[in-house]
Structures are given as structure tokens and as C-alpha cells.
Structure 1
Amino acid sequence: MTAGRALEAERDAILAALTPVVDGIAATFGPLCEVVLHDYRTPERSVTAVAGSVTGRSVGGAMSEIGMRVLARGDEAADELNYLTRTGGGTLVKSSTMVLRDSTGAVFGALCVNVDVTAVGRVHSLLGALAGLGGDPAELPTTTFGDDIDSVVDALVDAHRLRQRGSWAELGREERVELFRGLDARGVFAVRRAVEQVAARLGISRASAYNYLALARAATGTTSPGGDA
């Protein structure tokens, strides 16, 4: 067996060993907990096991933008623990993302735990109002979770366009490069055919999209990830 095949077999074995752990964690914490096991070698269908239904994921579904961010960081990615986000439907979620590495230290997947803490957030707001503190908790980012990778990419593009406060035609050259730099930093272009999808979303040609991506990477000294080939 070649070294490459041995590593792939090792990664498969790690995922297989963790599959029953997914059910065990979800059963321990009950119906408000969801556990998702990801294989980042296939970003468009990275979910290999899931228990619980906080974000509505299913086996064979795509990674979220959180997974894209891990991909963008490559082997420098670190665990992200106890962070808060909101789903598109407004559910307040407390999450932890723990990266999986093979024996060489390469990141190839993640084990994610999501807990629905919406009720806790409401109690927090109520107690704050009763104590005269007023106001809502700090605005939390909205994360797109879905089995379709295209919807995740589209949501990221739209979010960046909103921050730029203008249509593509209204953006200057630096703003356009910055948009592509931001998307690249979020791991969007690690997904296969993402350049074409972003181009269609922005209403520009595929060649223009590749050009702006090249300019963005030249400014940061990065190179093309394998997933976009």
C-alpha cells in the first residue's frame, strides 16, 4: 500500500471510530443537541454522520461557512469552542468545532457539536429587562446551515455585498478585489465550481471572477486551493 493510500485508510478509520461517538454525545445531551461529523475531503457532501436536528443537517449534506473557514486555514486551523451564532431561522446556537487530523497533522475533517440555546437567550433578555439593564444581547452573526453547498456560497456572497453597500457595478476596483479577498479568506473558493457560482451571483464573466481572485491572492501572497480546480 502506498503512503497516500495508507493515509486515506487512516482517515477513513478515524471517521469510522467517531461515528458511534456522534450518537453517544447527542443522546447524552438530549433533543436540543446536534452532533455532526464532517469529512472535508468532499466539501459538497462532507456530512458523514449526524445525530439530532438543530440545524437540519443530514448525511451527505454540505459543510457550512464554518467548515469553509476551517478549509481556508488549512493545517493551521484550530478548534473553535463555545461560540454563539444564529441560524437563518433565528435559532440561537452554541457550538464547538473540533478539527480532525491524521498522523501527519493534516486537517481532514471536524466533529461539531451544536446546542439550541434559544430559550436561554430569551431568559437572559427577560432577566436583563427585569434588572433594568435594557437592550438585547450583542448582535450575533447569522450562519447558513444547509445540505446544499450552493446555498451556503450564495449566502456568503450576499453577506459580503451587503457589507460593501452597493451592487457590483457600483464598486470600485479595490472594493471588488476586497470582496474576492474576503470570500477567499472564508474558504469559499475551496469548493468546486465556486468561482463560476460567484461569477453568476455577481453577474460577471467567469474570466473576470478568476482575474479578481488572482488579484486578491496576489495581494495576500496565497495560492489556489485544490478544491477549486
Structure 2
Amino acid sequence: MAPAPDAERDAILAALTPVVHGIAATFGPVCEVVLHDYRNPENSVVAVAGSVTGRTVGGAMSEIGMEVLAHGDEAADQLNYLTRARNGTVVKSSTMVLRDSAGAVFGALCVNVDVSAVTKVRDLLGALAGAGPALAGTGPAPAELPVTTFGNDIDSVVDALVDAHRTRQRGSWPELDREERLELFGGLDARGVFAVRGAVEQVAARLGISRASAYHYLARARAARAPSPDTSPGGHS
């Protein structure tokens, strides 16, 4: 008899827990490894070793985790990408999705490396060698890296995403036209925000609108993104 999905997933997470600590021990204090169980987005961190983003067991998924969740079983590994934490730390990360035997995504193994710390060491060695910051063959990290919220509180992650979308638009909620409002809700939905329990109510409060209005715009945004029916002669009506 095949194992029940939850039992199988629990076994995979248990098997990976020592791997988390092994990877972090191998790469030292600039490395953090986090194991996520996406069945519980608000408390997805089930194991962590190292301290680059300040994650703790029982903490929430990050913006990146929400995006994986939004893609569901179509999610793919994201390797060697750079982001900037809100404290300014440049982080190089890889997010590897976890699947059960049926191919369903249920978690992720994430490796975060503090590139800022590595850069400081590189620059110091360059200065000692008289070679300048080009010693390692690379320049400084780009200034316009996307800022990612790594929080143990899911509310702070949702708030950060809402604020990020609002700063890209021209004004407060009353100043936005219909298309801009739909774009805001569609963008948040694409980032996986509304997969989090209570997120609609939280977004409504953040924007200063009613819960009913938030659900209305979310439904409209999803309808606008839905593929149109195939009306070609060979298609289905």
C-alpha cells in the first residue's frame, strides 16, 4: 500500500533535517539553510541552521516562498539568485522545491549565503594584495537588487508585498483607477499572497477598504487573467 501523502511528506522533511545542518556546517557562518513545509504557510519553517536572514523554527515563509506556492505543482527550482534583505544585506539564494511521489509540491529547501560578508572579505584581501575590489573577478553587487522580506511573521511579509506594489503605483487607493486596482490585486495574487489564511482581510485593512471590496477586486483580477475560451472552429465553446 502506498504511504499516505502526509506521512510521506513528513518522512521527507525528517530525512532532510540533518541535511540542513550538514550544509550549514560545511559552508560556515555566512550560510543559512532553511527547510519549509508549505502545508502551513504561516509557520512553514520546520528546520533552520545558520543565521543570515534571522529565520527561526516556526517562522513564516518569505515572499519567495509565497511565489512558489502561487505556482503550485508547476513551481520550479530557483537557483543562484540575488536579493537584498531589508537590513541591506545582499543574499545569494537557491530555493529547491520538494515534491512527494505524486509530484505535488509541498515544501522547499532554501540555501542563503550572505554575499555582503563575502564581499567584505574579498575587498580586504584585494586591498592587502594591492589588487582592489576586482580581486575576485567580479564587481560589487548591483544597487537595484529586489528587496525581499524574510520574516518570521507572515503578516510582515504580506504588508511588505502590499507596500511594494503601492510604491510602484501613482498614489493611494482612492487615487487609483480601476485598471490600477486590478493590477495591484493581480500582482499580489501572482505572488501567492492570497494563499495565506486571512490575507484578503489583511490586505483590505492595509488599503483601507472593506473586505467585500477586496474580494471583489480579487475576483475581477483573477477573471481578467483567466484564459479565454477557445472560439476557433476546432475549439470548444
Partners of 1:51 and 1:135 lie apart in 2 by: 27
Kindly indicate whether residue 70 of structure 2 is the aligned counterpart of residue 72 of structure 1: yes
Q: Hey, what's the Cα distance between the residues in 1 that align with 2:87 and 2:216?
A: 35
Give the % identical residues: 81
Cα 1:107–1:212 change in 2 (3 A) is same
TM-score scaled by length of structure 1: 0.89
**What do residues 162-215 of structure 1 show as CA deviations (whole Å, max 9, x unaligned)?**
001211111001100000000000000000000000000000000000000000
TM-score (norm 2): 0.86
Structure 1 segments unaligned to the other structure (5+ residues): 129-133, 223-229
In structure 2, the residue matched to 1:94 is: 92
Aligned-residue offset at 1:221: 1.5
Q: Give the AA of the match of 1:36.
A: V
Residue 153 of structure 2 corresponds to which residue in structure 1? Answer: 148
Q: Is the aligned partner of 1:187 residue 2:185?
A: no
Per-residue CA distance 1:98-133 (angstroms, 9 max, x = gap): 000000000000000000010344557x636xxxxx
Higher gyration radius (CA): 2
Q: 1:117 aligns with which of 115, 118, 136?
A: 115
Task: Determine if contact 1:38/1:110 at 8 Å carries over to the other structure.
Answer: yes
1:16 and 1:120 map into 2 onto residues whose CA distance is 31
The yes-or-no answer on 1:127 pairing with 2:137 is no
Query: How many residues get paired?
Result: 217
State the superposition RMSD in angstroms: 2.2
TM superposition shift of 1:66: 0.2
The match for 1:225 is none
Q: What secondary structure is seen at the aligned counterpart in 1 of 2:106?
A: strand
Report the 3-state secondary structure (helix = DSSP H, G, I; strand = E; otherwise coil) of the residue aligned with 2:10. Answer: helix
Match of 2:220 among 215, 218, 224: 215
- Segments of 4+ moved more than 6 angstroms: none
Determine helix, strand or coil for the equivalent of 2:205: helix
Give, in whole Å, the separation in 2 of the partners of 1:196 and 1:56. Answer: 27
Which amino acid in structure 2 is aligned with residue 96 of structure 1? Answer: S
**Do 2:158 and 2:199's aligned partners in 1 also have CA atoms closer than 8 Å?**
yes
The residue that corresponds to 2:35 in the other structure is: 37
Q: Structure 2 stretches of 5 or more lacking a match?
A: 124-131, 228-237
1:159 alignment partner in structure 2 = 164
Alignment partner of 2:4: what SS?
helix
For residue 135 of structure 1, report the CA deviation from its aligned partner.
8.8
Show the 5 A alignment for 1:2-41.
6-41=4-39
Secondary structure of the corresponding residue to residue 204 of structure 2 = helix
